[in-house]
A and B are shown apart, each in its own frame.
Chain A
Amino acid sequence: MRAIFTLAGKDLTLLLRDRAALFWVFLFPVVVAVLFGTMFGGGAKGTAALPVMAIDRDNTQASRAFLKSLEESPAVKLEMAKAAEDGEAAVRRGEVVALLVLRPGLEKSLAGKGGGAAALELRADPSRRAELGMLRGLVAEAAIDNIVLPQPLELMPSLRAAAGVPSTPRIDVVGVESARDRPRTAFEFSFPSGMVWGLIGSVATFALSMVRERQAGTFLRLRAAPLTRAEILGGKAMSCWLACMAELALLLALGVLFFGMRPGNPGTLAAAFATSSVGFVGLMMLLSQLGRGEVAVASAGWAVMLVMAMFGGAMMPYFLMPEWMQQVGQASPVRWAIMALEGTLWRGLSWRELTQPCLYLVGLGVVCFALGCAILQRRAL
């Protein structure tokens, strides 16, 4: 273990002396987080269908018609929830934008006989403002389409709007309950993606340092020293992991100090940080073996990482991506890291909900690391 720390200490000293590496690991992620956060407080247009869950408590002909027209809208991907709890859990996990509850009395309300009470309810995370705004519009539209109008007006649809009767149904938005009071800013979207860019920067930096080590001959000397192969690679993994953790901690500190972020449970946060770093350390090991020279590894590495970032939601918010991209993105560690980071930074995922992304990240890390080691082993002798 001492040897691993000696090796890691050397790598971190070298990192501190490499300006380009410092830029990619620490500065670039900050720029991404702040710039993206500033840029996208705005709305979203022309996007893929918004995933929504619904539960029908009115259960009338009118409510079913309403759901049908909502379902027909290309902008919405509707799924029925078995129970409200399932829907809310999905919202908390960020899988759907909202749980739409059709309250009893919707039919009456659509016929203009409901009094003032809102018959529709969106249980959603208020922080997903852009998506929620779109969804509200779509729900209102579907409701208006299903308004049961008095006879004469029904014959003259063009008069509907002008007449304004009956009024557009009201929609209540209910925040999905969370014990914490969470300030919501666009930075909460951009910081996880900045963090992931920092992880990508670390991967590139350390993959290159593996190559340099081989080219500078120092790898030979490490192998000549009384170290096991596992210790040598462990040292590299440890230093990369520490750099990842330092980058995540830096962004967290900036986010908390200057950008109004208030993450909840430090335990889940630490787990998300640690497992994301593990996943990317594994990637580093594999990418470092994709070629022999610096240029080969750098270009192959960046190409792989860019594709992963693009599909994984580090370039644009996941919900803005076309559906097929989202599907492909399921395979990207970037997607899972963002899920874990977002989940703990502001979505308030429970330990149980965090298990899946964390397991994926650790599993990926271990598999990639093993693959990388196997290739290295084959080459070295």
Chain B
Amino acid sequence: MIHVEGLRKSFGARVAVDNIAFDVNAGESFGLLGPNGAGKTTTMHLLAGLLSPDGGTIEIAGGNDPTRKAVRRNIGIAPQAFALYEDLSAEQNALFFGRLYGLSGAKLDQHVSWALDFVGLNERERDLVRTFSGGMARRLNLACALVHNPPVLLLDEPMAGVDPQSRNLLLENIRHLKAHGRTIVYSSHYLSEAESLCDRVAILDEGRILALDPVDDLVASYGGPQQVLVELNGPLPELDQNEKLPGTFNGSTWNFQSEDPLPYLARMRARGAEFASVRVETPGLEAVFLTLTGRRPRD
């Protein structure tokens, strides 16, 4: 559905997207993750035909140049920055953008109420956008990208500022879209969302793709081993000099990394230690991110 090759874009001397390539299959959801300034938005805008690339090719939604209007008809983009008319109501915004995609009459009304329902805003549809909270505006921003029900959706940080309940509703609804064959490109700083939503994830930094794989594979390759956090009841038992246990000891806590922690725990038990709690932390995208970029995302 999307095929990108050798894509490059610079702003003056600053290279925003540096020779990236990826494919997204129909019905797949594809995550773009990366720290601020990694080039996620620039990539989205190139895909949407809002920017002309300096080099490389883009095939999207059955066309090979999204700056052509026939190709753009099949794309919906929710920009990172709100793109709404503050002095129109939510419904008027959605109606207007729907009309631009050639919808009219009963079909338009139907699409608009579906899109507003999708983001849970149908009760506020008559209110002017200027009276909306940030999260509500963010949701309307998404609704306006969906209103023409395009086969390809480009969602640039669609959850920024959305409260947890609404976020769950949105995630649920987006998964539903995916199940109905929509192709989704999703950029986010919220790794948890990307983990739960995206089939595959590209980690971007400084305009380059550092890694591109299914989430599980990424975690396996770059996530590092599991972290085990043990809280002991009482003081540490005496340990034999040459009986090495991994990790660090700090008062009554014991931290270590292992893919297979059970033998160590058993040995500790054998020394007479009692465990108040044992926590095993599986690495996620966060760890992948940290390993690859040396930075932590916002979330």
The residues of A with any CB-CB pair to B shorter than 8 Å are 3, 6-7, 10, 13-14, 17-18, 216-218, 220-228, 381
Contact = CB atoms under 8 A, between A and B. Distances in A.
Contacts of B82: 216-217
Please indicate which of the listed interface residues B70, B82, B87, B92 has the most CB atoms of chain A within 10 Å of its own CB: B87
A82 B135 CA distance: 77
Contact of A6 (B51, B84, B86, B99): B99
Interface stretch (B73-81, B165-173, B257-265, B291-299): B73-81
B70 A224 contact: no
B67 to A, nearest CB: 9
10 contacts: A6-B100, A10-B85, A10-B96, A13-B92, A14-B88, A217-B81, A220-B83, A221-B79, A226-B102, A381-B51
Contacts of A227: 69, 100
A93 B135 CA distance: 62
Contact of B100 (A17, A226, A381): A226
A158 to B, nearest CB: 75
A224 B50 contact: yes
Per CB-CB distance, the 4 closest pairs between chain A and chain B, nearest first, are A217-B83, A221-B83, A226-B73, A225-B100
Nearest to A215: B81
Please indicate which of the listed interface residues A13, A223, A226 has the most CB atoms of chain B within 10 Å of its own CB: A226
A381 B49 CA distance: 10
B189 to A, nearest CB: 19
Contact of B77 (A7, A13, A224, A228): A224
B72 interface: yes
A10 B84 CA distance: 12
A13 B91 CA distance: 14
A6 B85 contact: no
A6 B75 CA distance: 20
B254 interface: no
Interface of B: 48-52, 69-70, 72-73, 75, 77, 79, 81-88, 92, 96-97, 99-102, 144
A227 B86 CA distance: 22
A221 B97 contact: yes
B87 A381 contact: no
A218 B87 contact: no
Nearest to A217: B83
A20 to B, nearest CB: 12
Contact of A220 (B72, B79, B86, B92): B79
A6 B101 CA distance: 11
Contacts of B87: 14, 17-18
Given A224-B48, A224-B49, A226-B73, A216 B92 contact: no
Contacts of A7: 100
Please indicate which of the listed interface residues A6, A221, A222 has the most CB atoms of chain B within 10 Å of its own CB: A221
Contacts of B72: 224-226
Given A218-B83, A228-B69, 7 more contacts: A13-B92, A216-B82, A217-B83, A220-B83, A224-B72, A226-B69, A226-B100
Contacts of B101: 225-226
B75 A224 contact: yes
B7 to A, nearest CB: 15
A216 B84 contact: yes
B49 A14 contact: no
A206 to B, nearest CB: 15
A355 to B, nearest CB: 38
Given A6-B96, A225-B100, A226-B69, A220 B50 contact: yes
A223 B72 CA distance: 9
A221 B78 CA distance: 8
Contacts of A217: 79, 81-84
A17 B73 CA distance: 30
B226 to A, nearest CB: 43
B16 to A, nearest CB: 13
Contacts of A220: 50, 79, 81, 83
A76 B265 CA distance: 112
Contact of B70 (A13, A218, A226): A226
Contacts of B52: 381
A76 to B, nearest CB: 55
A220 B85 CA distance: 12
Contacts of B86: 216
Contacts of A6: 96, 99-100
